[in-house]
């Protein structure tokens, strides 16, 4: 019995640990572009009233894990990935706002 309780306590501890790790991570850095690092601010996007599934869906970023989707400007300009919103309608247009995403070091 004691062993079972130990396991439950351990499981609870592990699951809250994982939840904390996710919520503490509020920004993602994409640093593969020669134009400069792109900082994606999860909190800012959440404050725009966006739901997880607005981005975490089959056609966009299915996995909640960084690096699973290759983001290119061709995709963005074509209205995919970040470009679903960053098209001058739902959010600022990508073509004329490079430096709002790409930060020079
Ligand atoms: C505006 C778009 C957008 C919204 C809204 C969004 N995400 Fe994400 N999220 C992303 C992108 C982009 C990635 C990186 C995916 C990749 O690189 O393949 C990501 C990655 C993640 C990761 C992995 C982070 C890491 O370090 O690997 C987690 C966890 C996550 N999102 C959770 C959430 C949760 C929970 C919500 C809802 C509260 C949410 N996201 C809403 C765009 C979004
Ligand atoms: C579901 C819609 C949606 C998606 C997808 C989305 N964004 Fe946004 N984003 C917004 C909205 C809305 C704003 C705030 C309005 C604005 O600034 O035009 C915003 C703001 C931003 C800002 C803040 C810029 C500033 O100057 O304050 C950055 C940077 C940004 N997004 C990067 C990204 C990146 C990188 C991706 C793809 C990984 C992405 N966004 C995907 C909707 C989205
Ligand atoms: C909405 C945010 C956003 C805007 C605006 C934006 N980019 Fe990007 N860009 C990204 C993201 C995210 C990546 C992927 C970076 C990575 O994977 O590390 C990227 C990648 C790139 C790359 C490397 C991949 C490729 O497609 O060649 C180049 C070059 C680039 N951007 C140039 C630009 C230029 C030039 C502009 C303005 C005309 C611009 N970007 C505007 C988000 C943006």
What is the rounded CA–CA span in Å between residue 2 and residue 42? Answer: 41
Q: Which residue matches tokens 């725009």? A: 48
What is the rounded CA–CA span in Å between residue 95 and residue 104? Answer: 17
**Closest residue to atom 21 of ligand 2, CA basis:** 45
Q: Which of 30, 45, 62 to mutate to test the pocket of ligand 2 (most atoms within 8 A of CB)?
A: 45
Q: Would you say residue 95 has pLDDT above 70?
A: yes
pLDDT grade for 104, boundaries at 50, 70 and 90 = confident
Q: Are 39 and 27 in contact (CB under 8 A)?
A: yes
**Closest residue to atom 12 of ligand 2, CA basis:** 91
Copy the structure tokens of residue 26: 């509020």
What digits encode the pLDDT tens for the residues 5-50?
545 445 544 444 444 334 446 899 999 999 999 999 999 999 999 9
What digits encode the pLDDT tens for the residues 42-91?
999 999 999 999 999 999 999 999 999 999 999 999 999 999 999 999 99
What distance in angstroms lies between residue 3's CA and the mean position of ligand 3's atoms? Answer: 52
| Residue 32 CB less than 6 A away from ligand 1 | no
């Amino acid at each position: 019995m004691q062993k079972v309780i130990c396991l439950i306590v351990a499981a609870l501890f592990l699951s809250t640990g994982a939840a904390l790790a996710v919520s503490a991570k509020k920004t993602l850095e994409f640093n593969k572009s020669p134009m400069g690092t792109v900082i994606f601010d999860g909190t800012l996007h959440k404050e725009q009233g966006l739901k997880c599934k607005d981005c975490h869906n089959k056609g966009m970023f299915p996995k909640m894990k960084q690096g699973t989707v290759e983001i290119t400007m061709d995709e963005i300009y074509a209205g995919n990935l970040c470009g679903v919103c960053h098209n001058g309608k739902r959010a600022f247009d990508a073509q004329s706002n490079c430096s709002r995403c790409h930060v020079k070091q």
